[in-house]
Amino acid sequence: MLTTLFRCVQLSVFAIAAALAGSPAFAQDWPSKPISMVMGFPAGSGVDVVARTLQESIEKSLNAKIITEYKPGAGGNIASDYVAKARPDGYTILLGTAATHGVNAALYKSLPFDVEADFTPIAPLVDVSNVLTINPEIIDVKSIKEFIEKVKASPGKYNYASTGNGTGTHLAFAEFNAKAGLNMVHVPYKGGPEAIQGLIKGDVCCIFNQVQTIIPHWKANRVRLLGVSTKNRVSAVSEIPAIAEAGLPGFESYTWFGLFGPKGLDPQIASAINGAVRKALETPAIRQKLIELGNTPRVESVEQFRATVKSDRAKWAAVVKATGATID
């Protein structure tokens, strides 16, 4: 009897040891080296600006250096694939968006990863409004109504830029065109900086892009803003109306930025990063700076963010289907 009991205990100990050996044991000493934050969009893009605004505070909270790795292309899929295949040790995280984890699953016929099963949602950062921005030398209008009328009068004549196939800027314009009944040509770029330069040079007439990246060019009178894509106005450009109030009732489109780890990330690490993000977003000076850039800070727990990502994926799938948007 005692021998049998001893063997059971012995087997249980072996089973626990084997389980621990097969899973990462890093909660106690993490972080002990720099954390790599992988981004699927170029330096200077809106997501990069938000990351840099939060970075110092997060580093202090975690007592670790954060190194940004830029892997732009394919609507953020290159960076997503890299992180999906990384070790879940807390040293490789993804700065994703509503496009990478909401849009792409519906837009791309196949992906080398599963946007739900292969990632661990960690924390949202901000909600982001896009703004319909034009080059007045290419299309000289001053309101959403005038824009719709002029484009309708010349089907196929005008082209619009996006920050890449399947990005929020692409889908925002596709949805706008569908609701307004417009026929425009899509010109995808590799990222925000390139798309904005294309707009300024006159290679394209317009773009939906994040408020924070457009503001400097607007203040320098290089571009003109017609309307923001959120339901309400944005305080950073409060004089610019919402598109819904300025000529296209019911229109609303916004994106979000957030952090993800590979599947299997230790819940303690996800919680620690989430807490560091929350602390940064609740710091008055940082919060105010994000708002001035046209962002809305979003604070959620790990589980709340997981639910947000899931519901948003369903929402964007419906948008993709309704607009007929495809990868060019």
* C-alpha to C-alpha distances, 195 to 99, 103, 275, nearest whole angstrom: 17, 20, 34
pLDDT of residue 318: 86
First vs last C-alpha separation in the chain = 71
Do residues 188 and 118 lie in contact, with contact meaning Cβ atoms separated by under 8 Å? Answer: no
Tens digits of pLDDT across the chain (328 residues): 444 443 443 444 444 444 444 444 445 799 999 999 999 988 988 899 999 999 999 999 999 999 999 999 888 999 999 999 999 999 999 999 998 998 888 888 889 999 999 999 999 999 988 999 999 999 999 999 999 999 999 999 999 999 887 777 888 999 999 999 999 999 999 888 899 999 999 999 999 988 988 999 999 999 999 999 998 899 899 999 999 999 899 999 888 999 999 999 999 999 999 999 999 999 999 999 999 888 999 999 999 999 999 998 998 888 888 777 767 5
Furthest-apart CA pair in the chain: how many Å?
A: 91
Radius of gyration of the chain (CA): 22
Three-class secondary structure of residue 328 per DSSP: coil
Residues 190, 164 contacting (CB under 8 angstroms): yes
Q: Which domains does the chain have, with CATH numbers?
A: 34-127+255-323 (3.40.190.150), 129-246 (3.40.190.10)
Nearest Cα residue to 102 out of 320, 252, 324, 328: 320
Is residue 187 helix, strand or coil?
strand
Other Cβ atoms less than 10 A from the Cβ of 186: the count is 17
Residue 113 CB coordination number (10 Å): 19
C-alpha distances in Å from residue 146, one per residue of 29, 82, 181, 204: 60, 44, 14, 18
Question: Helices in 98-191 by DSSP H: which ranges?
Answer: 98, 104-107, 144-153, 168-180
C-alpha dist (Å) from residue 55 to 97, 106, 305: 17, 31, 20
94: left (phi over 0), alpha (psi -120 to 50) or beta: beta
Looking at residue 31, what is its pLDDT? 97
Q: What are phi and psi of 184, to 5 degrees?
A: -130, 160
d(CA 208, CA 228): 9
Residues 82 and 40: beta-carbon distance below 8 Å: no
Residue 28: φ, ψ to 5°:
-75, -40
Predicted pLDDT at 8: 44
Q: In which residue are the tokens 């899509």 written? A: 186
DSSP state of 34: P
The per-residue pLDDT for 16 is 40
Nearest residue to 213 (alpha-carbon basis) of 230, 225, 231, 205: 225
Determine if the peptide bond prior to 31 is cis (ω within 30°): yes
Residue 55: the pLDDT is 98
* Dihedral angle of Cα 4, 10, 11, 17, to the nearest 10 degrees: 170
Written as one string, the DSSP assignment of 242-254 is BHHHHT-TT---E
Alpha helix segments (H runs only) across 247-301: 267-281, 284-292
* pLDDT of 21: 41
CA–CA dist 236, 215 (Å, integer): 8
